[in-house]
Amino acid sequence: GDSVTQMEGPVTLSEEAFLTINCTYTATGYPSLFWYVQYPGEGLQLLLKATKADDKGSNKGFEATYRKETTSFHLEKGSVQVSDSAVYFCALMDSSYKLIFGSGTRLLVRP
């Protein structure tokens, strides 16, 4: 079945460092891809999405590009802030319009 694999955390960075969180997927066809973020004590919220190959999703300085050839959707940010500390989930939407999530990656940004 469809699945999402993302890098294990925690990822610990200093403020203003470059961030990459890897995400790869296995699916039939070309699913829509998403990054969700969960701040401490809160539910998940959509960070960005891409619905077809080569699309780039972006929001709040974060970016991810839908790479069909490598079945990847890596999350990047050029300069992280302490306020970016959260858990990040990569997800795909399957053919039944259900979301399948990766295991989540905790990001800790130190001042």
Q: Which residues bind another protein (CB under 8 A)?
A: 4, 32, 34, 36, 41-46, 49, 51, 89, 93, 97-99, 101-104
Strands (E), 1-111: 3-6, 11-14, 19-21, 23-26, 33-38, 44-50, 56-59, 62-65, 75-77, 86-93, 99-101, 105-110
In this structure, which amino acid lies at residue 73? F
> Quick one: 14 or 95, whose CB is closer to another protein?
95
User: Taking the complex as a whole, how short is the minimal distance between the CB of residue 15 and another protein, in angstroms?
Assistant: 26
Tokens encoding 63: 């970016």
User: Taking the complex as a whole, how short is the minimal distance between the CB of residue 46 and another protein, in angstroms?
Assistant: 5
* Nearest alpha carbon to residue 36 among 97, 78, 93: 93
> Quick one: 14 or 51, whose CB is closer to another protein?
51
> Quick one: 38 or 65, whose CB is closer to another protein?
38
Cα three-residue angle 13-23-102, rounded to 5 degrees: 100
User: Taking the complex as a whole, how short is the minimal distance between the CB of residue 17 and another protein, in angstroms?
Assistant: 25
> Quick one: 93 or 108, whose CB is closer to another protein?
93
User: Taking the complex as a whole, how short is the minimal distance between the CB of residue 47 and another protein, in angstroms?
Assistant: 11
